[in-house]
Amino acid sequence: MSTTRVLETTGSGDAGKPLALALVASHADVKPFVRKDAADTYVVPVQVPALKKRKSGADGLDTRRKEPEELAEREVKEKIERERRAKRIEESKNIVLTEDESLPQAKKTKIRHLEHLRGQRVFVSGWVHRLHSHEDSMVIVLRDGTGYLQCALSGKVAQTYAALTLTLESSVQLHGVLQVVPESKTAPGGHELSVDFWKVLGAAPGGDDALADKLNEKCDQSVLADMRHLVLRGETASAVLKLRAALLASARTSLVSHNLLEVTPQCLLQTQVEGGATHFELDYYGQRAFLTRSSQFYLETCLPSLGDVFCVQESFRVEQAHTRRHLSEYTHLEAELAFITFDDLMSHIETIICETIDRLLANPATAALIKQLSPDFTAPSRPFLRMPYIDAIQWLNAHGIQREAADADGNAILDAAGNTEMVAHAVGDDIGEAAERRMTDILGVPVFLHSFPAAMKAFYMKRLPAQDGAAHVLTESCDLLVPGVGEIAGGSMRMTGQEELLAALETQESVDVSSCYWFTDQRKYGTCEHGGYGVGVERFLAWVANRHTVRECSLYPRWPGRVTP
């Protein structure tokens, strides 16, 4: 076997003039050695990985030498393309597109109604959702709020100035014959518009002001919130809001089918309930007024005259909660029912929730939205699990789910390292958001937590008879928890005795009991067993649509610090 010497400079391969690379040995029976410079000795054999590394280095050097040449070549090509495009655009100004009067008159329609108009000439207006341009043709995916339509333009209609300068989000009107796409191709709705005439109604900007440059996956959440009006044009955001509308319609249908009447309570109140710290206060013609946190009290006044009632109303809450399930303004679906038991109440809530979902899944359009947003969502099985609060505390501790330690003022207790201490749950503790989510994620099914201690709940909730030796008085109250979100609904039976209710009201800070006469009079003039509940619509929707935060489930969400746009 011969020996080949290698130096990182050029040479002939003998001891005096080493070769630049050992690669010459790859085709001969030679043993390569290498040294860094002429003063070194050949003591380190070149291994195969090293050879590959040196070859890679040489290739990289060669690539770097080519980069300036390739860059210059690319710039030349781009310049030629710019000049060619500029020439095409200039020539396109001479192309005038007119509608062929010999064609059948186009029928105005919306995208959702196109299925029954196949083979006919129609015209549709909307916004350019997607755009694919080629040399002599282009494809537009049109959006009109009711659906998406693929539109094919070719020949003269694709060579006008408007066609060559068309931008995303421009509003356009397209005329043509609706044709079924071949089985080998796909298109929204299974059809495509073959365009013979079209016009731009409102051109959207391009360049730095183009929508695609303003909104992308790298945008900060605050930017997305500022640009919410444009975010809504996206497929996901619009699908969530369409599903929201369907969910509300389905819930209303269920409630009405169970003989509940919809009413519209006022949002402005003069009476503070449950204390004023969590109410938004405003000046109402020189008087103190508040935005409602709940329409419950107004609903209670309707029972003797209207029977069981419900409302879909905005509720407002002052709370410095920056979580994924809290909003300062949210849509509250509330109901109140007379002459029922606590068991009746929970069964009713379960029925409304399940019927609402069943109706959504039975409708092809809304089922498609759910499939798009939450492919794995299925209707919950019934009956829902029911777990007393005290059992839930034991369950959390048995599963090692702890809570943050806090002092009497609610401040976190820190350990020596400055971290929040975690402790076991005890009866009387509020079950926090994190614990709720872990519980429901482990259980994997909706669950009613019920019979909470009175000290944890609102003053008007019905108390259960005190048990001998029990440390806490419990209430006929419940929270409905679902996987991925936690609590989506809460309800209770109400106090029926006037004296008991007045005594409970006296314990509320900043509440003028005399101003609540219209509420306490319900117990004075023919009281009855009654109860009610409230469902957070955004939370309900977040569960069905698999949204990470309820902020995605509101048209223009409001949370602490956010009141725009």
Cα 537 from Cα 496, distance rounded (Å): 28
Q: Of 347, 346, 263, which is closest to residue 309 (Cα–Cα)?
A: 263
- What is the pTM (predicted TM-score) of this model? 0.84
CB neighbours (10 Å) of residue 225? 17
Place of tokens 């309900």: 540
The pLDDT value given to residue 336: 99
Cα 524 from Cα 497, distance rounded (Å): 8
The pLDDT value given to residue 6: 56
Residues 312-334: tens digit of each pLDDT: 999 999 988 888 889 999 999 99
**Alpha-carbon dihedral angle through residues 207, 208, 214, 220, given to the nearest 10 degrees:** 140
CB 448 within 8 A of CB 387: yes
CB neighbours (10 Å) of residue 526? 9
DSSP string across 384-433: PEEEEHHHHHHHHHHTT--EE-B-TTSPBPB-TTSPBPEE---TT----H
Structure tokens, 18: 């080493």
Cα 193 from Cα 221, distance rounded (Å): 37
The pLDDT value given to residue 25: 46
Give the chain's residues under pLDDT 70: 1-66, 273-277, 469
Output DSSP code: residue 454: G
Q: Of 305, 299, 292, 315, which is closest to residue 264 (Cα–Cα)?
A: 299
Cα 502 from Cα 516, distance rounded (Å): 9
CB 442 within 8 A of CB 399: yes
The pLDDT value given to residue 472: 87
Give the orientation angle of helix 537-545 with respect to helix 364-373, to 10 degrees: 80
The pLDDT value given to residue 30: 53
Q: Of 132, 135, 142, which is closest to residue 191 (Cα–Cα)?
A: 142
The pLDDT value given to residue 284: 95
The pLDDT value given to residue 215: 87
CB 154 within 8 A of CB 136: yes
The pLDDT value given to residue 13: 58
**Alpha-carbon dihedral angle through residues 42, 44, 45, 46, given to the nearest 10 degrees:** -100
Cα 32 from Cα 16, distance rounded (Å): 15
Cα→Cα distances 445→326, 382, 397, 437, 543, Å:
22, 10, 19, 11, 12
Altogether, the residues listed in the chain come to a count of: 565
CA atoms within 13 A on the CB side of 52: 3
The pLDDT value given to residue 351: 98
